[in-house]
């Protein structure tokens, strides 16, 4: 039955599972302590083993010689082990945790993940607390260290990390440990705290064929009028004109109201059309093909960021949907979020129909960039 269910998974779903292991799985899952295999809840440190060996040696010498002083030293050493276990347990209790992710996270680019720890105990502080994050039921090789957290206080620090791929990543909890007070024992416990992080595509330098620069769009500029662009011309005020476009300086000079005509914003429009179909190739395997599509998504995101920075109004068209042309940092954020959540398309998927009145930047599923414009096709390798 399990093999039959696995066989129903599409190639796109298999590729997504391979490339995005940290994505949240559907359905209710068992508790964290059943999914994560901790590295021992109570572990004797290297110093602790040395301490135990010395205690055993003193105990054997006390038994052979019957010396009360050696028995007293042995009792003190065993008492230190008991006290170490009690104080470490007390140090771990009464702690609450929260994550402080940054505003935006890009694939491959390192970022700082903030970890905040609050000591809810009324009297006793916590010492030597180490916090490790858990992603995809695996403990990350990153940790935050808190030397002392006073009672009723909150402390915050951060660790540096980089997600290798875009998409949704789920952080499921923390592994909290301490070696307080004598570093003889390391006691740890798991804290469940789920946080979904959206990782945006990587932004890098790309090569895009030359496009008409904003404000110099040739015949399109002479034929189109609109609001929000460069000044197209002047004409006398007519009923129905927008009073906000009155050119007061020229109106005062001519003795009558004069209206500014502006260049149409469509002279600045560019449409990015992305092909993110997962088509298996005989020479390339599933993982290689998925890697190529991931590269194409990164190229599309980088192209949008570059064009918006150059003053263009950018739209996005994929097999799964589209975004209308717009400009500004908020529009770039919308494009990046859409690309971050974008799934692989089937081999027979097509783009939605659209009126391509603006230059179109084509991004193939292998990350190649080409331009579809009235001036003729051009190509550039991203």
Distances (CA, A) of 131 to 99, 225, 374: 11, 60, 58
Residue 374: the pLDDT is 47
Residue 206: the pLDDT is 86
Supply the DSSP string of 9-76, one letter for each residue.
Answer: S-HHHHHHHHH-TTSPPSS----HHHHS--S-SEEE-HHHHHHHHHHHHHHHHHHHH--HHHHHHHHH
Residue 209: the pLDDT is 81
Count the alpha carbons within 13 Å of 121 in the hemisphere toward its beta carbon. 16
Residue 225: the pLDDT is 46
Residue 29: the pLDDT is 64
Q: Where are the domains of the chain?
A: 23-200, 225-263, 267-381
Round to whole Å and give the CA distance between 235 and 247. 10
10-residue mean pLDDT series, the chain (382 residues): 47 57 59 58 89 93 91 92 91 93 92 95 93 87 91 94 91 92 90 92 87 52 47 71 80 84 65 85 70 89 91 87 86 93 82 69 85 54 42
Residue 376: the pLDDT is 46
Closest by CA to 358, choosing from 265, 296, 276, is 265
Residue 28: the pLDDT is 59
Residue 362: the pLDDT is 87
Residue 11: the pLDDT is 55
Architecture of the structural domain at 23-200: Sandwich (2.60)
Tokens read off for 57: 């040696």
Tokens read off for 61: 């010498």
Residue 6: the pLDDT is 43
Residue 371: the pLDDT is 82
Residue 106: the pLDDT is 94
């Amino acid at each position: 039955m399990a093999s039959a269910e696995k066989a129903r998974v599409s190639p796109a779903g298999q590729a997504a599972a391979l490339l995005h292991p940290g994505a949240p799985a559907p359905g209710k899952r068992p508790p964290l302590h059943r999914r994560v295999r901790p590295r021992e809840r109570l572990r004797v440190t290297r110093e602790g083993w040395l301490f135990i060996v010395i205690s055993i040696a003193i105990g054997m010498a006390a038994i052979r010689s019957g010396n009360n002083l050696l028995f007293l030293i042995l009792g003190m050493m065993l008492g230190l082990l008991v006290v170490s276990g009690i104080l470490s347990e007390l140090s771990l209790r009464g702690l609450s945790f929260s994550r402080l992710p940054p505003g935006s996270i890009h694939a491959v680019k390192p970022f700082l993940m903030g970890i905040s720890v609050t000591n809810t105990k009324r009297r006793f502080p916590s010492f030597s607390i180490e916090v490790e994050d858990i992603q995809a039921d695996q403990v990350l090789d990153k940790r935050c260290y808190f030397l002392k957290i006073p009672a009723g206080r909150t402390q915050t620090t951060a660790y540096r990390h980089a997600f290798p791929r875009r998409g949704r990543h789920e952080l499921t909890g923390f592994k909290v440990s301490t070696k307080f007070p004598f570093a003889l024992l390391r006691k740890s416990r798991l804290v469940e705290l789920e946080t979904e992080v959206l990782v945006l595509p990587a932004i890098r330098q790309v090569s895009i064929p030359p496009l008409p620069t904003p404000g110099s769009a040739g015949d399109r500029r002479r034929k189109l009028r609109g609001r929000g662009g460069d000044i197209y011309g002047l004409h006398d005020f007519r009923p129905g004109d927008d009073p906000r476009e009155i050119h007061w300086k020229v109106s005062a000079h001519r003795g009558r109201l004069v209206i500014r005509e502006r260049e149409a914003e469509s002279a600045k429009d560019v449409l990015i059309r992305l092909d993110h179909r997962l088509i298996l190739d005989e020479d390339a395997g599933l993982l290689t093909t998925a890697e190529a599509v991931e590269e194409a998504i990164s190229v599309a995101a980088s192209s949008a960021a570059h064009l918006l920075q150059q003053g263009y109004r950018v739209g996005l068209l994929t097999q799964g949907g589209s975004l209308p042309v717009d400009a500004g940092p908020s529009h770039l954020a919308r494009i990046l979020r859409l690309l971050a959540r974008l799934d692989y398309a089937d081999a027979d998927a097509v783009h939605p129909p659209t009126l391509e009145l603006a230059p179109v930047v084509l991004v193939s599923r292998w990350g190649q960039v080409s331009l579809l414009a009235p001036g003729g096709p051009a190509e550039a390798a991203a």
